[in-house]
Structure formats: structure tokens, C-alpha cells
Amino acid sequence: MNAHIRKITAVIISVLMLAAVFAGCGASNQPSNTNGSESKSTGEIKVVTTIFPIYDWIREVARDDVHINLDMLLDNGVDLHSYQPTAKDIMSISDCDMFIYVGGESDKWVSETLEQAQNKNMVVLNLMDILGSNAKEEEVVEGMQEHEHEHQEGEEEHEYDEHVWLSLKNAQLFVQKIADALAKVDSEHADAYHTNADAYSKQLDALDAQYQQAVNGAAVKTLLFGDRFPFRYLTDDYGLSYYAAFSGCSAESEASFETISFLANKTDELGLKAIMQIETSDGSIAKTVRDNTKTKDQTILTLDSLQGVTADRVKNGETYLSIMESNLGVLKQAIA
């Protein structure tokens, strides 16, 4: 975050804090609740998160605990890389009991927001910090179109892959940490949180085993994306290799002739029957790759990276598990 944005953020926070002081015991602002819960009441635990996977994990750990007030900030289809917090978002974080976020390059705005927060006893979880040395640096594989990183003062920075939620193994770790954190802010229900987390972790583990079984029996062990590639944590879990137009955090949207040619030739060389894309793609790059192969008959398949799950999709019953189960079906087609 540059100095100008930091100043703007600080001014917004200061104005909101001042407004909160003058509001006193008047009518309270009700936080936006994707789960439809009502306004904050005495003894209610306010939990705020950024992205859908974390939101859904909290729902699974809290289950029917009605005094959990859960707010998902990225619920309108904007993905993590494009998101900028609104004044309302900043205020929602400021007085919450627990805040959970990814913690990568896209979340640089968080540190200043937390410094200005009203609730100094807030429990904060950063998924990248939880992973620690198991967080993966972004990599550029053969044929991938590189994007320029912005470095402060010309220093070389290591940019880490933020898409940590796409590993079912990581998800099991995060769910246990969420249970621990909820137990810390709400010790009265600690046993229930841990029981729910254990039950959910078993579901995650079972799906993880299904992914491994599918890969073990696969004819093809390589995925090719005519798109960004946010699935490195998933492919690494199961020993799959990949080629892609761009890295997962790239802002590029136009593929060069060289990139298209490489991917088309690699599709021919490996005899791939599918070209992959992610859910936010308009399909143009994948189609252009296919049009430049010898057979021009590959199926274009879409894997969902869960980056822009909307409130409407949540209301329609989609869950982290249901989307990852759908992804498994797509993966089976790709590697058959």
C-alpha cells in the first residue's frame, strides 16, 4: 500500500472512530451478515473474514451456534487480488472479536486497519502465518508469461502464492486453528467448536483421499491452463505437474503469441484432451490455445478457485466442500 492510500485509510478510520464515539448508546450500526443473522446483541461473538473458504470453515466449526455473528467481506464477486476495503468494511473489522484473513500480498491493507482497530483484544488469524515455512513462493514454470512485481526501493521481494485454501490438507490445519481461536474468544462453547472441527476435518480428509485416488489412477499427470494458475497448492499435494499462461497472482489478461504457441505445442506433445481455465475467465485464451493445436478438439474445462464466491451462491447452498467436490469431478475429466 502506498503512502497516499495509507493516508486515505487513516483519515477514513479516524472519521469513523469519531462517529462511533458521538453515537454513544444510540442506535447501533448493524454489520452486514452474509448468513442472515440479526444485529449484535449482548454476549454475541462478532467474527469477520475476507474470503468465502474461511467464512465457510467458520460456519462448519460454529455450526448452530446462533450467537456467532459472521461477516464475509468479499461477497459480491470481487476476488482477493482486486479487493479494496470500504469504510464500512474497516469499521466492521474495527470492533469485531475475531478477524481471519489470508495474509498475502493482496492483504497489505490489513496491518494498518488492525493498528487503528477499536478492539485491542481482537483475536486475529493470518493463514499465511499459520502455514509458516510451508507457504509456497510463486513460481514461473516453462512457457509461463512473467509479470512484473512492484518492489519497494528496488529491493527484491519474495512473493508468496496466496491461494492456500485450495489445499484440502491446508484446510484441515486451518479448521483446527479456527476452532482454537473461537474457543479463545468463547470458552463456554470450546468443546463444541473442537468437536465440530474434528468432524469436519474427517470430511476434508475423506475428500483429500478421493483426490489422491483419482490422481493415482490417472492416465495423465499434467494440467495445462490457458489462464492464470492459482492451483499450485492443490497440484503439489497430489504430485501433478502443470503449464499455464500466467501465475496465480498475475494481473495479466492478454497472452503473447509465444505463450499461446508454447501451450498449444505442449498440448500436442503431451496428447492432452483438455485445456483448463478458472471460473472468472472469459475463455478466450483457452480457446485460442485450442485453435492452435493440431487436432483443435480439446475439451475446455473450468476449475473453481473459490476466489469470488458471492452471497447469492452461499444462499443457494454452495459450500467449500461442495465446490471442491465439483472440482474433483472436473479434475477426473482432465486427467482421464
Which domains can be identified in the chain, with CATH numbers?
Answer: 3-18+42-145+162-207 (3.40.50.1980), 219-335 (3.40.50.1980)
Mean pLDDT confidence for 199-226: 97
Question: Of 43, 46, 14, 12, which Cα lies nearest the Cα of 29?
Answer: 46
Mean pLDDT rounded to a whole number for the chain: 86
Q: What sign for the dihedral angle of Cα 177, 181, 183, 189? A: negative
pLDDT of residue 285: 97
**Range from 9-23, 114-128, 229-243, 305-319 carrying the lowest mean pLDDT:** 9-23
Q: Is the pTM higher than 0.95?
A: no
Please compute the mean of the pLDDT values over residues 57-67 and round it to a whole number: 90
- CA dihedral (127, 74, 226, 297) in degrees, to 10, reads 120
**Kind plus residue range of the DSSP H or E element containing 222:** strand 222-229
On the question of pLDDT at 49 being above 50, the answer is yes
Q: Pairing mode, if any, of strands 222-229 and 241-247?
A: parallel
Q: First vs last Cα of the chain: how many Å apart?
A: 44
Please report the pLDDT score of residue 15 as a whole number. 42
Structure confidence at residue 317 as a pLDDT band (50, 70, 90): very high
Q: What is the pLDDT of residue 250?
A: 74
What is the tens place of the pLDDT at every residue in 90-129?
999 999 999 999 998 889 899 999 999 999 999 999 999 9
Query: What are the C-alpha distances in Å from 11 to residues 22, 24, 73, 82?
Result: 17, 21, 21, 22
- Side-by-side strand order, sheet with 98-101: 68-72, 45-49, 98-101, 123-126
284 burial via Cβ count (<10 Å: 0-12, 13-18, 19+): middle
Mean pLDDT (whole number) for 29-52: 60
